[in-house]
Amino acid sequence: MTEEIDPGELPPVVRIVDDDASVRAAIEDLLASVGLESRSFASTRAFLDGDAPEAPGCLVLDVRMPGQSGLDFQRQMASLRIGLPVIFITGHGDVPMSVRAMKEGAIEFLMKPFDDQALLDAIQSGIGRDRVRRAFEAEITTLRARYDELTPGERAVMDSVVKGLLNKQIAGLLDVSEITVKVRRRQVMLKMGATSLPQLVRIYDMVASSATDGQNPSGAEGR
């Protein structure tokens, strides 16, 4: 099993959170045997304190632990802005528990003792999902930066263009000449890297969805 790693991208790291040292050591070793790097933590607290979030990967999480349970931690992850895909491992799962975990977006819910291949497959799909997520987030960050580089005038034109207004209407709305609108519109397309109006609308939506904290593009809703 080989990993294709793009140059410039960090190698994936699997995070393991389980209160049992033997289980942690065993999983780490299993992952090492297939060439996967891992880091393990005895509790969710230790994970929060010690994890390096920039590395892509996924989280192998025990359900029953002293302190915070894995399921509660999964709930909390969104508000902590931790986007790592989760794979649950548990010694005594039941159907409601697994349903809850899967509803919250878990990749897998494995019963201990689990099949090694099932865990490895889940981890691979988790890493894949994390890569896609990170690529998407990186794209949004780039677009957001580009949007922030627009002049206020260009930004105003972009906001109106994506609403489907005609150049003439925009000119009237912004109280500038139609030529100015056309020039700014060309600048917007160029700076945002869009080649068509539909593409510009898509980019605008992505930028808008990323900014939910007050610095929305003017007039755009969070979603």
Partner 1 sequence: MAQKVIVVATGSRIGRTSIVAVLTAAVFALDTVTDLEIATAVFYIVVILIAIGLFSRRGVVRLAIACIALTLCSAALTKSGSYEAGLINSGISIAAIAITTWLALRMIAAEAAAYEARAQLIRIARVNSLGELAASIAHEVNQPLSAITTSGDACLRWLAADPPNLERARLAAGRIVDDASRAGKVVARVREHMRGEAAERREMSLNDVVAESVALAQSEIDRGGVTVRLDLTELLPPIQGDPIQLQQVLGNLILNAIEAMADQPAPSRSLDLRTWADNGIVRLCLGDAGIGVSEDNLPFLFDAFWTTKKGGTGMGLAICRTIVEAHGGTIRAKLGSPVGLEIHLGLPAAARS
What's the order of all strands across the beta sheet hosting 37-41? 37-41, 13-17, 57-62, 86-90, 108-111
Nearer to partner 1, 31 or 84 (CB): 31
Q: How far is the CB of 99 from partner 1 (least distance, A)?
A: 20
Q: Which stretch binds partner 1 (CB under 8 A): 25-33, 139-147, 158-166, 198-206?
A: 25-33
Is the CB of residue 106 less than 8 Å from the CB of residue 87? yes
Smallest Cα–Cα separation from 53: which of 95, 82, 32, 16? 82
Is 23 near partner 1 (CB under 8 A)? Answer: yes
**Of 14, 17, 27, 77, which one interacts with partner 1 (CB under 8 A)?**
27
Where is 171: in which H helix or E strand? helix 167-174
Coil, strand, or helix at residue 79?
coil
Smallest Cα–Cα separation from 12: which of 20, 1, 23, 26? 1
**Of 39, 48, 64, 140, which one interacts with partner 1 (CB under 8 A)?**
64
Nearer to partner 1, 81 or 92 (CB): 92
Nearer to partner 1, 60 or 162 (CB): 60
Stretch 32-51 residues interacting with partner 1 (CB under 8 A): 32-34
Coil, strand, or helix at residue 88?
strand
Is the CB of residue 141 less than 8 Å from the CB of residue 55? no
Stretch 83-142 residues interacting with partner 1 (CB under 8 A): 89, 91-92, 112-114, 116, 119
What is the contact surface with partner 1 in residues (CB under 8 A)? Answer: 20, 22-23, 25-27, 29-30, 32-34, 64, 89, 91-92, 112-114, 116, 119
